Structure 1
Amino acid sequence: MLQLSQTPWGVGNRRGGGSIEVVWERRRNCRQRISREKRNRVFATLKKDRCGSLHGSTTRLKVLLFNARSVKGKSSIIQDLIMDEHADLACITETWLDDLGGVSLTQLCPPGFRVHQQARPGGRGGGVAVVFRQSIALVRCVALQSVGFECLHLKVGTRDSLGILLVYRPPRDTAVSLPELAEVVSSVVLGSQRLLVLGDFNIHAETTLTGAAQEFMAAMTTMGLSQIISGPTNQAGHTRDLGFVAGNGLVGVEEQIILPLSWSDHYLISLRLTVSSNLRRGGGPIKMVRPRRLMDPERFLRSLGDLSTMEADDPVDALVTHYNGELSRAIDTIAPERPLSLRGVAPAPWFTGELAEMKRARRRLECCWRTTRDVSDRARSRAAIRAYSAALRAARKVFSTARIASATNRSSELFRVVGELLHPPQVGGAPDISSTRCSEFAHHFADKVAQIRSDFDAGLDALPGEVTEASVCSILWDSFRLVQPDDVDKILGAVRATTCALDPCPSWLLKQASGGLVDWFVRIINASLEQGIVPSGLKQAVVRPVLKKASLDPANLSNYRPISNLPFLGKVLERVVASQLQGFLEDTDFLDQSQSGFRPGYSTEMVLVALVDDLRRELDRGSVTLLVLLDISVAFDTIDHGILLGRLSGMGLGGTALQWLQSFLEGRSQLVKLGDTCSDPWSLTCGVPQGSILSPMLFNIYMKPLGEVIRSFGVRCHLYADDTQLYYSFPPNSKEAPRILDQCLAVVLAWMRANKLKLNPDKTEVLQVSRTSDRGIGWQPVLDGVSLPLKAQVRSLGVLLDSALTLEAQVSVVAGRAFAQLKLVRQLRPYLEKSGLTMVVHALVTSRLDYCNALYVGLPLKTAWKLQLVQRSAARFLTGADYRAHSTPLFKGLHWLPFIFRAQFKVQVITYKALNGLGPTYLRDRISPYEPARPLRSSGEALLLLPPTSQLRLVGTRERAFSAMAPRLWNSLPREIRQALTLLSFRKSLKTWLFQKAFVD
């Protein structure tokens, strides 16, 4: 039973009995001091685990709830409020943010905090967010959403966790939204023994309820939820912000305080909860770290031993062991590990002493107003808040602007700073870092591959998969070329300085000290290449599970993607082998012509240009084309080592070269690492290592026969690594097409099974490209006994293709995402100069317009105008022009090509690459040089042959195809541009010519 006293201010509750005593009082300005002896007695009763975390039988959790009425412009005040209240969680309703959040969401988080938010799906207003301490084990769960309210479902803790459901329900449509909200609460109650439901429900709980509100409160009581908020929660005197607790005594309300906020019409509700569960709070784990300021490259090199003590013919494993031991000893000498407690949180670097004094003055005025409730005191308090907020924003702007200015000439550092401004700190996907959790991930990843392999072994078809396997040829390459110091220097400059947990010292330190380590690298690499052995110390990977999408359930292990990290020395060694293997593949032209993945001069854009060209040509002829996008499950992880080694031998490898690659594949292992906790390593008997630069090249070799299998049925295909798409064109009335395509899919399925690759029919998609009158062909392709339904649109390598190739859906998606990024960049205007803004706009906005823009040439204006609108908006944003300003002078001032000319520029660059051997042969075969029957003045003009007019049946369909459009655009160029000697000179001359054509002609 809640008892409300008649004292004037604040709501407080003290432990004792079964009721919550409510007291209205002024906040105390100072905290109660606890003697050191008493504090020591308290800590002596707590149990300390091996990592240094403090856990008691119960955990206290301080939760804030308030309605912000838009956090924009209030982020600094809210951040201060969270820090002043020493809150663990701050539940905010009516954030008025969109899905991206931007700077306002980032600035909500004090140092050491993270944030989850749920924006209103459509329109302005609404939205909820929870800001929480990083030391708390908190994960976001999937919750049902409705147009009538926004909610955010979270779980706090690792085992027997506390569920939190934050809700904002606008006052409209009570009869509809409240029953829907009750349904959501009922689904959450079933999965949580301890539950806290709170938010702005827009129910006047202090009155006698009727109708849907009464039924809702009765339903909450039926579900075992008790309402704990008493007293008015807004300036109108209503109790609209509510809190419900369920848990049969497992969740207690130790203290409740309600205080007015001068910057919102809702009050602040502060709850101190006691939860009989481990929330992993307190000091946090004690980590062992090395001070970076002590890691001086010169001192590091002086501390190293001498590799010359090792003999030249020593095993490479011994060399690597000596290398790791010496590096570990040297780093321990100059920068020994020290314990670092995560208990303290550093203050914001821009928070000065003047701001601290302004904050104290603001707090004094707030306390005065809460005591007197005088209008003039409130006016002075609000003026102090406005002045303090302005000073905070100014200080943050000066600090951020200085950081950005110092990074202007370093693009990677600039985008890192911009990312910190635009995006809040990332929330870890796996909060439970126990050894049990690591083992669960390890078993999940290992069992997934083992299950697929066992299915192959149990049900392997007798149908041969190697129907087009190349015969074994004589040995063409039997040994690697040994490296020189200059070769290693070049590789060290190119490889990223990502440090693996198995590395003896940070990779960035090795790169900075590379001058004294080159001889070590050369000695180890050459020993490995000569002996044909990959050191066992470089064949273990550390796997970090990462959620595939932030909206997925973190409790489901299937929602995680394993990210592998390999030792730094192993990456350098692999790059040496990869460069030589790539040269061999180019010299022998071994790879399939339709394979474009991870090959120099190839890209997803070129694959799509060729694919759409074929589809448009067939559509122009009146043919029906079925595009089938195959889905392969964990393709890199199920590769059979024996089959791969057979393919390597069949392409001419032997000697120590083949022996080294066999050693690279065999004897590998990996382990899962969460925080400082690791699982036991497990052996990998199949697959190629994730994160290795060699793995994509080996996968391309493994997949080489597949293209020949598909083409043997007259079906065309394109492969980009494991992304396989095949397409078959036929007359609308063809009776043989179903049999041919189904037979092709059956043989592809048999080839996949014979080669230990699993096709997933449920995720395989089919698109029919045809004229409107031919859409109903009356049959569906069949794969593994599953009929594949025809879809209206499919996503191929990031581009949405539709049945008529209008690209309207693709243009709409690109324009929408580019506009969303432009809205984010707009928030950076106070912090960036024009040059920095221009760089960010190019990276985040116009880059989206440029991806595959070769497909947009010739599109109708009604389709392309959306993309033009994005470019115009970006130009007006950078120049500060009015929305009515004409875009042409803005583009000219920024030296931007208009959207249409940018697309033509891309087509002509692709054409130049195709003609000069810098691109795929499948593009080169689509265009032909113009060769007149007799010698003419145009013979040396480097012109292309235009397709006959008789072949262009549908105006705008075939004309937009690359094979018809590229010759027309190419022939319009001046001869000196067409005959440019290098790609760089061609691009420069082409842009100048297009710029003159766009703005001068």
Structure 2
Amino acid sequence: MGTSRRPRARRCEKKTLRVFQANVGKIPPVHDCALALADSERYDIVLLQEPWTTTANSRCLTKTHPAYDTYSPVEAWNSNSTRPRVMTYVRRDSKLSADQNRPYQSRDILWLTVNDTIVVNFYRQNDERDALDTLLQWPIPDRCLVAGDFNARHHTGTWQTGPTTNRGHEIASWASENGLGLLNTSDIPTNPHGNTIDLAFSNVPLAEANVEDHLATSSDHFTLSLTLPNVEPAPTQPGKIRVTTDDELKRFVEIVELGSTAIPVAASSPLELDELASTLVSLLQSAAKAAGRPARKGARNAPWWTEECALAAAGYRAIRRLYPLGFNQEVQIAKRDFHRVVRRAKRLYWRNLINSFSDSSSVFKAVRWLRSPGAFQPPPLQVDDVVYETQLDKANALRRATLERRTAEDDIQDPWIEVSPSKTIPFPQEISLEEAQDATLRTGNTSPGADNSTVKLLTAVWHIIGTHVRRLFEGRLAMGHHPKPFRAAEVVMIAKPGRRDLTTSRAWRPISQLSCLGKGLERLVARRLAWACIHHGVVHPQQAGALPKRSATDLVAALVHDIEEAFARKKGWPERLARWAGSFMDDRSACVRYQDTITPLSPLQCGLPQGSPVSPILFLLYTEPIYRLSNPQGRFGYADDTAILCVGDTIEETAVAASRSFEEMVRWGAANGVSFDPKKTKVMRFSRSKLETAPAIRHGDVEKHPEAAMRWLGIWLDSSLSF
């Protein structure tokens, strides 16, 4: 009789955190060396005191490394008195998850939660009290490491025999009262003067600290190597699947071909359309998962750290071992030579990189790098006086702040009122295979959608799924139904360009990633709508954006209101098209990806889906009545930007007319679920003569005064049109 063994459930193995701590003395090559050495030994966390920092063209800079994420206690500085005096680096590893905490505002202390352990990077200037006062009043959590440059001694020999200096007694008492053990070995110096001033305290059982000679950075401090055992691994987050090699792509096609026999044939009802769409998405996802590999967060070596740099560092350490506690001339010469090698290697790397630029895309890539806000990881987020520190909490807070600012209560009452259009706009429901292929595959967008499918993958299997996709598209138009699998999005939160204060939700922009299959039909509908709008004169002649020959920019209007299905039936669009638009916007959901965390799907009760090809044209159609209010010749629209031109014989006359136009537009918006932000409203006066004073224009309850100059659609205008 045979027996079968039940497979054991795989346990999440706990890991040991390895921490590298050093004071780098604000010296650029020393800072670079510390990061390179930490990477070569695969340290998880790097705690540096007195990092090198500078400012250039309003950018705050420090040393970074491609293997590590960079954390700073302050986001911006403009002088030596405001720069950060600690910098923490966390290895880019899927088993590590880091959240920056900020119980107190200090440039000398950086709190970081790494998995289940809080790691504190501390620096104390000899003649200053603030940093130590702050640390002493901080409540100590269960699993904690506090390490850094304390610049103090304690007379009992706790860490160095001799007289107590620089509040050493207070530090020893604080550690004892809070159950923090000193990890340093007593009387083992941490600088060439023979002092033990770089200290590490922890309440993690079996934590250790050692002074590592082979990790000398060439600063006047030695390097501490710290280990924290039994750290819980970070939770695994669902990630993207990569199918990029020829073998992977071939295997992907084979799996899709084998599974295509299970694709439903029927597509004559909304439920059957949902089933067809779901089967296609599931087949593509399972094939990609079986053929490809997960896109994991990984670390890379610093490309400029050459073998010459490593040999120079080793040469310096060999000389330093001969004079461990002195400032011998040979040590100083070796240090200077090492710094020279590092500077030369970095300079040569960047010079060769710039010289290798051979096309405009490379140049633009370099310009984007120069204009980037910096490499620092986002600090805690503050929304309405509430501070969010973990990645999940920040993701949910940004979802509420950017995607859920309006609810269904802000919607118009009944979008399906009876209308009698004066004309009927033809909108055929038949779709050819070539049109479906063109809308789905001929796009410059190569990023994966919410279902992890890319245009490249769809192109590879189009000969298998093309006819099914055409049936799906045609059925959706015929029945006025948008399949549910295509109504879910993954929203990635990215920092807006030029925004350095990432503590506010206004600094973040939601970027929606939709299914590439779903976007195929949306792109097809958008093209047909745009053509019909021009051919049948549906939109106002002074309304632009998302229309052929009226815009060269792909604009996406992220609406904060629900336009629902009433958008255009009175214009004469077929009801099945209006029904499709209603289905397209109904019952949508989204998950939010923020750094390494993704939230569960949650409903979106209002707004057009940002990122959809059809959203801009639907927005234009819905807001078109604005341009047919009073003074239609003086109304100009470009996507969601509206301009009103009022002309009169006197300033007072134009002010009254402008206020009346504002009021009329606001009333229309209130009746149709559209809001206008007074903060973004600007007023400009154009006059042949110079005006001493000019009356304000009213936008609701807000008075808007004329600007000296303003920027509209990227062009600066002033009162004399001198540009």
Structure 1 pair 704–396 and aligned structure 2 pair: CA distance change class (3 A): closer
Structure 1 residue 638 displacement after superposition: 0.7
Structure 1 pair 318–164 and aligned structure 2 pair: CA distance change class (3 A): same
Structure 1 residue 641 displacement after superposition: 0.6
Higher helix share: 1
Aligned with 1:636 (options 559, 562, 580): 559
Checking the alignment, whether the CA contact within 8 Å between 2:561 and 2:606 is kept in structure 1 is yes
Structure 1 residue 568 displacement after superposition: 0.9
Checking the alignment, whether the CA contact within 8 Å between 2:489 and 2:513 is kept in structure 1 is yes
2:697 — aligned with what? 781
2:91 — aligned with what? 133
Structure 1 pair 110–637 and aligned structure 2 pair: CA distance change class (3 A): closer
Q: Secondary structure at the match of 1:638?
A: coil
Structure 1 residue 701 displacement after superposition: 1.0
Is it true that 1:317 corresponds to 2:235 in the alignment? Answer: no
2:35 partner letter: Q
CA distance in 1, matches of 2:30, 2:60: 12
Is it true that 1:598 corresponds to 2:556 in the alignment? Answer: no
1:589 — aligned with what? 537
Structure 1 segment 513-662 matched on structure 2, within 5 A: 513-514=461-462, 517-548=465-496, 551-552=500-501, 554=503, 560-602=508-550, 636-644=559-567, 648-662=568-582
Checking the alignment, whether the CA contact within 8 Å between 2:206 and 2:228 is kept in structure 1 is yes
Structure 1 segment 576-975 matched on structure 2, within 5 A: 576-602=524-550, 636-644=559-567, 648-674=568-594, 678-709=598-629, 711=631, 716-728=634-646, 730=648, 734=652, 736-762=653-679, 764-767=681-684, 774-777=691-694, 779-789=695-705, 794-798=710-714, 805=719, 957=720, 960=722
Structure 1 residue 652 displacement after superposition: 1.8
Structure 1 pair 394–101 and aligned structure 2 pair: CA distance change class (3 A): farther
Is it true that 1:379 corresponds to 2:333 in the alignment? Answer: yes
1:301 — aligned with what? 253
Q: Tell me the alpha carbon deviations over residues 971-992 of structure 1, each in whole angstroms, 9 at most, x when there is no partner.
A: xxxxxxxxxxxxxxxxxxxxxx
Scaled by the length of structure 2, what TM-score is found? 0.72
Is it true that 1:454 corresponds to 2:432 in the alignment? Answer: no
Structure 1 residue 565 displacement after superposition: 1.2
CA distance in 1, matches of 2:630, 2:27: 57
Structure 1 residue 53 displacement after superposition: 7.1
Structure 1 pair 684–391 and aligned structure 2 pair: CA distance change class (3 A): closer
Between the two proteins, the alignment pairs up a number of residues equal to: 669
CA distance in 2, matches of 1:299, 1:244: 52
Structure 1 pair 252–153 and aligned structure 2 pair: CA distance change class (3 A): farther
The unaligned stretches of length 5 or more in structure 2 are 1-8, 155-165, 381-388
Q: Tell me the alpha carbon deviations over residues 255-306 of structure 1, each in whole angstroms, 9 at most, x when there is no partner.
A: 4859899987753564849799x8x767987979567446543443333144
CA distance in 2, matches of 1:482, 1:308: 23
Structure 1 pair 313–789 and aligned structure 2 pair: CA distance change class (3 A): closer
Structure 1 residue 475 displacement after superposition: 1.1
1:744 partner letter: S
CA distance in 2, matches of 1:774, 1:290: 63
Checking the alignment, whether the CA contact within 8 Å between 2:88 and 2:121 is kept in structure 1 is no
1:475 — aligned with what? 424
CA distance in 1, matches of 2:237, 2:267: 46
Structure 1 residue 752 displacement after superposition: 1.5
The structure with more radius of gyration:
1
Structure 1 residue 341 displacement after superposition: 7.8
CA distance in 2, matches of 1:771, 1:123: 50
Aligned with 1:66 (options 14, 23, 27): 23
Checking the alignment, whether the CA contact within 8 Å between 1:544 and 1:563 is kept in structure 2 is yes
Checking the alignment, whether the CA contact within 8 Å between 2:494 and 2:508 is kept in structure 1 is yes
Q: Tell me the alpha carbon deviations over residues 577-600 of structure 1, each in whole angstroms, 9 at most, x when there is no partner.
A: 111111101112222233333333
Checking the alignment, whether the CA contact within 8 Å between 1:563 and 1:690 is kept in structure 2 is yes
Q: Secondary structure at the match of 1:580?
A: helix
CA distance in 1, matches of 2:11, 2:704: 53
Checking the alignment, whether the CA contact within 8 Å between 2:18 and 2:228 is kept in structure 1 is yes
Structure 1 pair 154–515 and aligned structure 2 pair: CA distance change class (3 A): farther
Structure 1 residue 576 displacement after superposition: 1.2
Checking the alignment, whether the CA contact within 8 Å between 2:30 and 2:339 is kept in structure 1 is no
2:423 partner letter: S
Q: Secondary structure at the match of 1:508?
A: helix
Q: Compute the RMSD of aligned alpha carbons.
A: 5.6
1:654 partner letter: P
Q: Secondary structure at the match of 1:370?
A: coil
The unaligned stretches of length 5 or more in structure 1 are 1-48, 207-215, 606-633, 806-956, 962-1001
CA distance in 1, matches of 2:658, 2:137: 49
1:498 — aligned with what? 447
CA distance in 2, matches of 1:687, 1:574: 16
1:80 — aligned with what? 36
Structure 1 residue 688 displacement after superposition: 1.2
Q: Between 249-258 and 352-361, report the one with greater CA deviation.
A: 249-258
Is it true that 1:91 corresponds to 2:41 in the alignment? Answer: no
Checking the alignment, whether the CA contact within 8 Å between 1:768 and 1:790 is kept in structure 2 is yes
Structure 1 residue 319 displacement after superposition: 2.9
Checking the alignment, whether the CA contact within 8 Å between 1:115 and 1:130 is kept in structure 2 is yes
CA distance in 2, matches of 1:307, 1:471: 46
Structure 1 residue 753 displacement after superposition: 1.2
Structure 1 pair 217–720 and aligned structure 2 pair: CA distance change class (3 A): farther
Q: Tell me the alpha carbon deviations over residues 62-93 of structure 1, each in whole angstroms, 9 at most, x when there is no partner.
A: 3534244452x666424324336736133353
1:54 — aligned with what? 14
Structure 1 segment 335-484 matched on structure 2, within 5 A: 335=292, 345=299, 347=301, 359-370=313-324, 373-384=327-338, 386-387=340-341, 390=344, 400=353, 404=356, 408=358, 412=361, 427=377, 432-434=390-392, 447-450=404-407, 454=409, 472-484=421-433
Q: Secondary structure at the match of 1:583?
A: helix
Q: Tell me the alpha carbon deviations over residues 765-809 of structure 1, each in whole angstroms, 9 at most, x when there is no partner.
A: 4455668962323x43333333335555555445565xx55xxxx
Checking the alignment, whether the CA contact within 8 Å between 2:23 and 2:219 is kept in structure 1 is no
1:597 partner letter: G
1:62 partner letter: V
CA distance in 2, matches of 1:525, 1:793: 48
CA distance in 1, matches of 2:57, 2:108: 17
Checking the alignment, whether the CA contact within 8 Å between 1:429 and 1:546 is kept in structure 2 is no
Structure 1 residue 536 displacement after superposition: 1.9
1:774 partner letter: L
Structure 1 pair 309–781 and aligned structure 2 pair: CA distance change class (3 A): closer
CA distance in 2, matches of 1:275, 1:299: 42
CA distance in 2, matches of 1:98, 1:482: 57
Structure 1 pair 639–531 and aligned structure 2 pair: CA distance change class (3 A): closer
2:386 — aligned with what? none
Checking the alignment, whether the CA contact within 8 Å between 2:241 and 2:289 is kept in structure 1 is no
CA distance in 2, matches of 1:741, 1:192: 58
Structure 1 residue 698 displacement after superposition: 0.7
Structure 1 residue 495 displacement after superposition: 3.9
CA distance in 1, matches of 2:469, 2:376: 36
Q: Tell me the alpha carbon deviations over residues 821-864 of structure 1, each in whole angstroms, 9 at most, x when there is no partner.
A: xxxxxxxxxxxxxxxxxxxxxxxxxxxxxxxxxxxxxxxxxxxx
